[in-house]
Structure 1
Amino acid sequence: MAGALWTLPNTVLGVVAGLAGTVFGARPHWRAADLALVFERWPWGPGGAITFGNVILHTGASLDTGCTTYAHRAGLCVDAVIRLADHERAHVYQYMVLGPLFLPLYLACGGVSVRNRFERAADRYALTGRGWWPWPSA
């Protein structure tokens, strides 16, 4: 799996953060469908999840929970509830293509924000099962 090797530096960052969380109750397990090691009950952050390579850090008890899209939360539209796991899986795919370029590009696109094309693509994928790539194809 070339994508997993390409994003390995990001994955290592996620594993280190996840393991630090285990001291405070985080629970790791492999989710094959998401191609990710998930640390649930991760003790830091405002809630929700963050992905680093093939690692997802989630503050809740299960990624199989519903959440709203960034656009919905910003009041830009009314979207159906999405599964958090689907949204984070899109970020895993993005990382596997972009590898070490993901974080600088993500931050350059606005970070955690409705304006960020990576977040909009992850929401689109969670809503439709398609379109996780953040740039339109020609």
Structure 2
Amino acid sequence: MSNYNDIDIQSFVNNLTEKTKSLEIKWEKVPRVHYHKLIDRSIIYSNIKNPFYSQSKNGNVIIGKFDKKVYYEEDQYYYEDSFFITISNSTFGDVTTFLDNDDDNSLGFSFAVSLSKLHRLIQLNINDIKNRLDNWFD
């Protein structure tokens, strides 16, 4: 029997979101040198953008997004953002990635929305946006 069905990644993301809101989790930007190993499979015509990580004694959790070209005609395309969550060891190795469109067990639209909201929350915290706006006119 596989453990795959026992993994509740949606609950994990919800937990991360709550702990990020209450500032219990410290997030950092992933160094660019590690971008190439953040996703455990190839995604054609894509670029990783703004990945963040948090460390625990069990390794890293990485929340990121990538844009990918989506072709609708032979030479016509647009860019689409997708989000991912990756679990790795402390050196960004041994990665396991969860995408919203994983074929074996589709996580669906609500998972994509949860990840995008978490990514945005982390981005706002890392860039200290609230403090910047509160003190803009000082």
- Higher helix residue share: 1
- Higher strand residue share: 2
Return the TM-score normalized by structure 1.
0.28
Return the TM-score normalized by structure 2.
0.28
* Structure index of larger Rg: 2
